[in-house]
Structure 1
Amino acid sequence: MNIGIDKIGFYTPHLYVDMNELAVSRDIDPGKFTIGIGQEKMAVPPVTQDSVTLAANAALEILDDADKEQIDFVIFGTETGVDSSKSAAVYVHELLGINPNARAIEVKQACYGATAAIQMAKGHIALNPESKVLVLGSDIARYGLNSSGEATQGAGAVALTISANPGILALEEKSAYMTADVMDFWRPVYSDKAFVDGKLSNEQYIEFFAKVWKQYKDKSGFDLKDFEAITFHLPYTKMGKKALKPVLADAPENVQERLKANYQVSTNYNRNVGNIYTGSLYLSLISLLEQKEDLERGSRIGLFSYGSGAVGEFFSGILQPNYRDYLKTESHRNMFALRKKVTVPEYEAIFEETLPTDGSTVKLDIEMDPAKICLAGITENMRQYVNKSK
């Protein structure tokens, strides 16, 4: 029985800041942002969007009534959850009207969370082949204004349904993974901003990829020539390129050129959204599938997931015969086209507009946010969500 990704979609806020303008305002050569790390635009989330609403908006795009009835497990991967007890999945479950006879949980391991959710979902479908699992990867990356990590911020969510006989990508059985206690990136419970050792994180990412790739080759018998493309977790779009370059050396030239070209296509969406943590690998997959129009059915796609702290995994999937019928290419094109550029001062003001942490009641103006699902405020320490489409 084939198990894998049946549907996939994403959502990013309607606001962005231009990286050239951000660089100039920070007295930095714009090339360091646009070429050095490979970022052109950075999504800016208004206060009416959090990890719950981003995920719910992403899922709203792909789910129909039949999906909502078949889904009996919602798994939400995030490192920017909104509650230390109640899972973000429960909020999404209610906002979307999913079958009440379902499990709903939140999982966490930095940017690896959504991959852990997918692997968990595969096991569930193997035991319950008539059901579907909704997997969500949603985050808002915050490092602080004028911080060293500011240029690698972003916001967005990816939603996937995992099922038997999937429409898009059948996931193969073999995968390779590893864990090591590394302090390359972390966010203590008392902080709304992350801490990062950038040099160490880059080194660990590259090292993890080399190790799990070797392990995967030994397990599967596959080599680079067997892949049409390899997609990566992308905290910034040059990161995957740095990890891929060393392993390409022994591949035939035509294989090297194919993988490098397809890697570049896979970064298109990420370079215009920024880092979305748990969803970034799957945003790069969406970019590849929607932007590379001549990807053939039966192609093998590799996926490298990395979550600081650290856990890494390499796995693969086979493109299904009619996978293009399940994509939301036009919808995503329109979403990008309708975004609004904000100035750097406007971005800074939006960044500083945060929710109260003392239990204060607050009502937010959701009419300024075109998203269908928004955070409307806080009452008695409870977040108030609104689905405008209901």
Structure 2
Amino acid sequence: MTTAGIDAVEIRTGNLKLDLAETFAPVKDEDPAKYTKGLGLHASSFPDAYEDIVTMGANAAKRLMDRKGLTPEDIGRIDVATESAFDHSKPVSTYIAGCLEDVFEDDFHHANKGERKFACLAGTQAIDDAVNWVTSGKNRGRAALVIATDTALYERGDSGEATQGAGAVAMLIDEDPDLTVVEPLQGFGSADETDFLKPNQQFPSVDGKRSMQVYLARMREALRDLEEQRDLHPDDFAVVPFHIPFPGMVRKGAALGYRHISRGTDVEDALAEEIGPQPRPDDFEDDEAFRDALSEYTDDLTETDRYQEWYDLTVEPTLGISRYVGNWYTGSVHLARAAALRDARENGRDLDEQQMLVCSYGSGAQAEVHIETVQPGWEEEIAQLNVEEQLRERYDLSFTEYEQIHDVHNYDESTDIDAFTTPEEEFVFDGWGRMGERKYTYVE
């Protein structure tokens, strides 16, 4: 049986940085701890005036292809996942392919190109599609590029403003991958929800409290769906990457997930001696009383040494990049995977043949939980990432400069300012074409 999964990964941050504690909090007259401890965020990544979802995606894809020694002939599929698209017809994948064709000698005329949309879940859905394409044999020996790219901006003054971010994650999906095999088992939780949406508008309308509830409800459903296919146990998984709207939200998702998959296991039995057994619906007269008891149990659970040790080992390392770049929408969970692998390599943790439980989510709303197996050789692949260098080299914005660059990327504003950084060996936005299309060039 053909195995397929993620063979390589590249990350591209926006070239600008907004420090939440030092720059954002003072202007908002807020305690910096609201962001660094409450949200779990220290900085946001922003695109400069010449950057957008195309340049970030194309730059990540080019670096991936260069270091893997690939040409366009090796790529049979290009899928872009985004919720920041600027055209309702022409997919972002065609723009990115056009950029890459300008620097490679061949073209992608025989590659299937598309654009995936389901809020933050679309990147995982695009991986699913690409894996199915590879394992079906339709790939004819070629690999797929999956690119998750977003500018996750909110209207200024919105409660979600501090969680903003911008960047791209490019992944090569191929047979016998070097990073992770995507296993066939999947669990889904899906419902028609209006927790977060953009009805013909750039910036989202968000019901924050509802969105958190929906996130957890859909994740619970997805875990139940996966459990119908195989037994789950907290100790089965070395890494548990979640979608990260902000790290504080992951703390809630992780507690729910641990509680759920430890139910009926030796873990619950061991914890019962300390905090009692998990509440069961049949033990209560009504649903409200059950939920209150479950909430109290979950609070107690997160205070136990057993849970905290599990969280520190399997979840905390997934947050190492997102804390300094913010929410990347479709790229968020894929940043989490890369961050965990990077942390494992730096700390000498052996993940060969270990499993991940990847927990993806998109508002509107759907969660997907699937299993990936880390492949021998993952350390060599993950060592190629240069994300630390990118983070160090970002331009540190003042608040006034932040307001200016926010206006540049606001489709309803017409703002012309000089770039804060000088592009070098990267694709850049280069103005408008005759039909209103965006034009790009590569700067040596």
TM-score by length of 1: 0.93
SS of the equivalent of 1:8 reads strand
Q: What is the deviation of 1:328?
A: 4.6
Match of 1:77 among 70, 75, 81: 81
Contact 1:225–1:255 (8 Å) recurs in 2 = no
Aligned residue in 2 for 1:13: 14
Aligned residue in 2 for 1:206: 216
Aligned residue in 2 for 1:124: 133
**Taking structure 1 as reference, are residues 331 and 35 closer, same or farther at Cα in structure 2, changes over 3 Å only?**
same
Contact 2:11–2:60 (8 Å) recurs in 1 = yes
More off after superposition, 24-33 vs 269-278: 24-33
Match of 1:379 among 412, 428, 433: 433
The 5 Å alignment of 1:64-213 reads 64=66, 65-66=69-70, 68-97=72-101, 98-128=107-137, 130-189=141-200, 191-213=201-223
Aligned residue in 2 for 1:315: 370
Which consecutive residues of structure 2, in runs of 5 or more, have no partner in the other structure? 102-106, 271-304
More off after superposition, 94-103 vs 55-64: 94-103
The one-letter code sitting in structure 2 at the alignment partner of 1:224 is P
Aligned residue in 2 for 1:287: 339
More off after superposition, 207-216 vs 298-307: 207-216
The one-letter code sitting in structure 2 at the alignment partner of 1:213 is L
Name the CA distance, whole Å, in 1 between partners of 2:384 and 2:132.
Answer: 29
More off after superposition, 254-263 vs 38-47: 254-263
Alpha-carbon deviations, 1:308-354, whole Å to 9, x = none? Answer: 00111000111101111112555222111211211111111111124
SS of the equivalent of 1:312 reads strand
Contact 2:395–2:421 (8 Å) recurs in 1 = no
Contact 2:54–2:92 (8 Å) recurs in 1 = yes
1:353 paired to 2:408: yes
SS of the equivalent of 2:216 reads helix
Alpha-carbon deviations, 1:64-90, whole Å to 9, x = none? Answer: 343532111100010001211100001
Contact 1:72–1:131 (8 Å) recurs in 2 = yes
Q: What is the deviation of 1:23?
A: 1.3
Name the CA distance, whole Å, in 1 between partners of 2:146 and 2:214.
Answer: 26
Name the CA distance, whole Å, in 2 between partners of 1:356 and 1:32.
Answer: 30
The one-letter code sitting in structure 2 at the alignment partner of 1:19 is L
Name the CA distance, whole Å, in 2 between partners of 1:334 and 1:144.
Answer: 29
Q: What is the deviation of 1:215?
A: 1.8
**Taking structure 1 as reference, are residues 350 and 370 closer, same or farther at Cα in structure 2, changes over 3 Å only?**
farther
SS of the equivalent of 1:204 reads helix
1:31 paired to 2:33: yes
**Taking structure 1 as reference, are residues 26 and 223 closer, same or farther at Cα in structure 2, changes over 3 Å only?**
same
Q: What is the deviation of 1:367?
A: 7.1
SS of the equivalent of 1:292 reads helix
More off after superposition, 329-338 vs 178-187: 329-338
**Taking structure 1 as reference, are residues 216 and 260 closer, same or farther at Cα in structure 2, changes over 3 Å only?**
farther
Match of 2:382 among 304, 327, 331: 327
Aligned residue in 2 for 1:369: 423
SS of the equivalent of 1:16 reads strand
Name the CA distance, whole Å, in 1 between partners of 2:421 and 2:48.
Answer: 12
The one-letter code sitting in structure 2 at the alignment partner of 1:352 is D
Aligned residue in 2 for 1:302: 357
Name the CA distance, whole Å, in 2 between partners of 1:108 and 1:328.
Answer: 30
**Taking structure 1 as reference, are residues 354 and 66 closer, same or farther at Cα in structure 2, changes over 3 Å only?**
closer
Aligned residue in 1 for 2:4: 3
The one-letter code sitting in structure 2 at the alignment partner of 1:377 is G
Name the CA distance, whole Å, in 1 between partners of 2:393 and 2:424.
Answer: 10
Q: What is the deviation of 1:370?
A: 4.2
Alpha-carbon deviations, 1:15-63, whole Å to 9, x = none? Answer: 1011112012101121111110100000121231111111111111211
**Taking structure 1 as reference, are residues 123 and 330 closer, same or farther at Cα in structure 2, changes over 3 Å only?**
closer
Contact 1:36–1:238 (8 Å) recurs in 2 = yes
Q: CA RMSD in A?
A: 2.2
The 5 Å alignment of 1:53-64 reads 53-64=55-66
SS of the equivalent of 1:66 reads coil
**Taking structure 1 as reference, are residues 345 and 370 closer, same or farther at Cα in structure 2, changes over 3 Å only?**
farther
Q: What is the deviation of 1:166?
A: 0.4
Name the CA distance, whole Å, in 2 between partners of 1:201 and 1:371.
Answer: 40
TM-score by length of 2: 0.82
More off after superposition, 94-103 vs 31-40: 94-103
**Taking structure 1 as reference, are residues 276 and 284 closer, same or farther at Cα in structure 2, changes over 3 Å only?**
same
**Taking structure 1 as reference, are residues 172 and 354 closer, same or farther at Cα in structure 2, changes over 3 Å only?**
closer
More off after superposition, 281-290 vs 60-69: 60-69
Contact 2:237–2:314 (8 Å) recurs in 1 = no
**Taking structure 1 as reference, are residues 125 and 255 closer, same or farther at Cα in structure 2, changes over 3 Å only?**
farther
SS of the equivalent of 2:185 reads coil
Aligned residue in 1 for 2:285: none
Name the CA distance, whole Å, in 2 between partners of 1:366 and 1:158.
Answer: 23
More off after superposition, 269-278 vs 127-136: 127-136
Name the CA distance, whole Å, in 1 between partners of 2:174 and 2:307.
Answer: 31
Q: What is the deviation of 1:206?
A: 1.1
Contact 2:189–2:222 (8 Å) recurs in 1 = yes
Contact 1:262–1:292 (8 Å) recurs in 2 = no
The number of aligned residues is 387
